[in-house]
Amino acid sequence: MNGSGTGFTTTGAGGGDSINEIKTDIITLTRFILTEQGRYATQATGDFTLLLNSLQFAFKFISHNIRRATLVNLIGLAGATNSTGDDQKKLDVIGDEIFINAMRASGKVKVLVSEEQEEIMVFEGDGKYCVVCDPIDGSSNLDAGVSVGTIFGVYKLQPDSAGGVSDVLRAGTEMVAAGYTMYGASANLVLTTGNGVNGFTLDNALGEFILTHPDMKIPKKRAIYSVNEGNTVYWDTPTQDYFHNLKYPPEGQKPYSSRYIGSMVADMHRTLLYGGIFAYPSDSKSKNGKLRLLYECFPMAFLVEQAGGLATTGTQRILELVPKHIHDRSGIFLGSEKEVQKVIDTYKKYEISA
C-alpha cells in the first residue's frame, strides 16, 4: 500500500497492478459553508452556518423516509388538502413536520413559510432568518417512483422586526440563500448563497453531503425544452408561437428535443446540468400561473441566475416580482441564457405588434 495525501494504491490479487484512488480530503457541506463564511463573511456570527446545518439534517431525514416509504406505507393520500388546495400525501405531512421541527430546533429561524401551512409560523427566540419551503415537491409522482425534492429559500429578518408576514413578502432579489434537494437514486443538494452554485451528494455511509459538483454553470444554450404540452390550448399567443418555433424550425435546422418529467426539482436538475429551458407558463386556465412564487419560483430563479441563466415570466424578471400573499403563483420560463432570451424576445415582438 502506497499512502499519499489524497489516496492510496493497492496491488491486484492476480499479480497485475490495479490502482484504486480513494480521496480522503473530501469537502463536506459543513466544511464548505465554513470556508465560504471565512471567504465572504469574515464578520459573520455563525448563525447562518447553524441554520444550514439544520437544513441539511431535514434533508437527510426526509431522504431516509422517502427511501423506505413503500415499506412503511407512507405512500398514498393522507385524507386532507394543503394550503394551496393540493391533495396531501402522507409523506407531505411527514416532510412538513420534519421541516418545522428542524427549523424550530435550530434557534436561528424566526419565520417559516411552508406550502403545507395556510399561514406563516413565527417561532420563539431571537432567530434572524426566514425560511420558505416546499417540503416535498412533486409528491404526486411518488407512487410511480419518480424523483421528488425539497425546495427552499432563505431571507434575513428585517431590522427591528419581531417576525411577521412582511419579512417574506419581498422580492426574490433579497434572498440570501436558496436551493433544492432531489431525492432519487441519491440525494442531491444544489445550493447558492449568492456566490455561485454548488452541488452536493449525500453519502449514506458517512451521513454527509459531499461536494461533487463545484461551481455549477448552466450551458448558454441547448436544444431541449421541458413543458407540459397538454396545456398548449390554454397558452397565450407568444407562448404558443415560441414552442411552435422550437418544434418546427426553418428547413435545414433540427427541432428541439422534449424532456418533461412532471416533477419541478427533477426537471430543473436536468436543465441545470445539461442546459435548455424549463417552463410552466401562466395560461387561460391558471391566469396567475401554477407554481408558487415564494418557495418554488424564487429559489429556482436564484439558482439559475447564479449559474449563468435567466428566469422570466416572459415580460418580467422573476426575482424582481413582489408577492402579495405567501402562496401567490406565477408563470415562469427559466434555464439557459440564450434559450430564455428567445422567450423574452418573442413577448417583445408581440408587444411591438400590439
The continuous run of DSSP H or E covering 272 comes out as helix 264-274
Which positions ≥6 away from 197 have C-beta within 8 Å?
190, 191, 215, 216, 217, 272, 303, 306, 307
Average pLDDT over residues 31-39: 86
Helix H or strand E encompassing 102:
helix 90-106
Residue 304 CA to its chain's centroid (Å): 9
How far apart, in whole angstroms, are the C-alpha atoms of residue 32 and residue 214? 10
The whole-angstrom distance between residue 41's C-alpha and the CA centroid of its chain comes to 24
Rounded distance between C-alpha atoms, residue 64 and residue 58, angstroms:
10
* Ranges of H-type helices in 176-263: 237-247
Pick from 270, 290, 293, 294: which is nearest to 280 by CA? 290
**Average pLDDT, integer, range 87-103:** 85
What's the whole-number mean pLDDT along residues 234-242? Answer: 97
Of 79 and 246, which is predicted with more confidence? 246
**336 pLDDT more than 80:** yes
74 vs 111 pLDDT, higher one: 111
Going by pLDDT thresholds of 50, 70 and 90, the confidence category of residue 83 is: low
Which residue type, as a one-letter code, is found at position 241? D
What pLDDT digit, counting tens, does each position of 305-315 carry?
Answer: 999 999 999 99
**Which DSSP string do the residues of 29-77 spell out, in sequence order?**
HHHHHHHHHHHH-TT--SHHHHHHHHHHHHHHHHHHHHHTTTTTT--SE
Band of pLDDT at residue 36, cut at 50, 70 and 90? confident
The confidence score (pLDDT) of residue 88 equals 54
Half-sphere exposure of 110 (CA within 13 A, CB side): 21
Amino acid sitting at position 28 = T
